[in-house]
Amino acid sequence: MPDTPVASVLIPTRDRADYLDVSLASIMPQAAELAAEVIVVSDGPDPATAEVARRYGARHLALPEPRGANASRNAGVAASSAPLVLFVDDDVDAPAGWLSAMLEGVQANPEHEVFGGPIRPRFEGGARTCGRHPPITNLDLGTSECDVDLVWSANMAVRRTALELVGPFDETIHRRGDEEDWERRYTAGGGRIRYVPAAGLDHRRSAADSRLLSLAQAEYQIGRAARRWDTRKGTAPPPQTDARWLLRWGLHTVRRRCPHGIVSAAHYVGRLREALAEGRRPS
């Protein structure tokens, strides 16, 4: 590893050593070949996470207590040294050539400072999803490079110059809007985001996490976080809108005999639960 690596790959994680094992197995060989550093940031102490990072030769940091993904990202940025920082989730599987494709995309676009690649959902338990919105972060903007409004931190590269200019990620935002808030601040100042279609990776759900109940529970929490983020932005619809979407997915489940409709319905149950909680909070 040179004194200054070509890139710093940051992986925030929390108590998911099994997912991290797959992620590091796919990323570490690419990082070693291209002289990039890999930093695993644990959101709170976790010996299993530390052991997986040690086994693969990745640097490991642990926050003293859980503070969220954005706190882990900020800690990783502070500990890194490369001029380019790549953020990935702990549950990705990066195919051979992912890192080189992202670096080539960055080099080919010196006027851009933020980049993102495709994020392909992969359910390993045979789960069937409905429509274009599977219950996991995904991104598919076609096969051509283009400027975009947003990319997602499961597969995002940022020049350090942009991080220094815009400042840290907002650690009060959790689960939804965490990277979007930072990107909105960046583009508000005239920054540009580039989509690099060659730099795609898989976003996994293990067989256990692909079960209907697990997906529905996760989507319920995501719905609550999405409602909080919409409220913070001032774009939250009236609860009646979320209720109509809940009804639509309920009818879809019955009419199409589609179990996955339950997962989508759980999202709107979460949104409605959060809307009720908002109504009880003092103004």
Is 218 found in the same domain as 130?
no
258 belongs to a structural domain = yes
User: Residue 259 pLDDT > 90, yes or no?
Assistant: no
- In this structure, is residue 271 part of a structural domain? yes
User: Residues with Cβ < 8 Å from 228, sequence gap 6 or more?
Assistant: 176, 274
105 and 144: one domain?
A: yes
Same-domain check for residues 55 and 152: yes
Per the domain annotation, does 107 fall within a domain?
yes
Q: Which residues contact 275 (CB under 8 A, 6 or more apart)?
A: 227, 236, 239, 242
In a domain, 225, yes or no: yes
CATH code assigned at 156:
3.90.550.10
Within this chain, do residues 127 and 99 fall inside the same structural domain, yes or no? yes
Averaged over 261-277, what is the pLDDT?
93
**Domain interval for residue 243:** 211-280
Chosen domain end from 205, 224, 253: 205
Total residues found in the chain within this entry = 283
User: Could you read off the pLDDT of 164-188 as tens digits, one per residue?
Assistant: 999 999 999 988 899 999 999 999 9
pTM of the model: 0.90
Whether residues 155 and 33 share a domain: the answer is yes
- Pick the closest to residue 11 from 38, 31, 35, 32 (CA basis): 38
Answer whether residue 177 is part of any domain.
yes
CB 61 within 8 A of CB 11: no
State whether 112 and 44 are in the same domain.
yes
Report the distance separating Cα 208 and Cα 267, nearest Å: 20
- Are 224 and 114 members of one domain? no
At 128 the pLDDT is: 61
Average pLDDT, the chain: 93
DSSP readout, 150-208?
Answer: ---TTEEEEEHHHHHHH----TT--SSSHHHHHHHHHHHTT--EEE-TTS-EEEEE-TG
pLDDT value for 283? 59
Among candidate residues 205, 233, 259, the one where a domain is terminated: 205
Number of domains the chain is built from? 2
Assigned domain for 2 exists: no
| Angular region, 257: left φ>0, alpha ψ -120 to 50, beta rest | left
Q: Give the per-residue pLDDT at 135.
A: 75
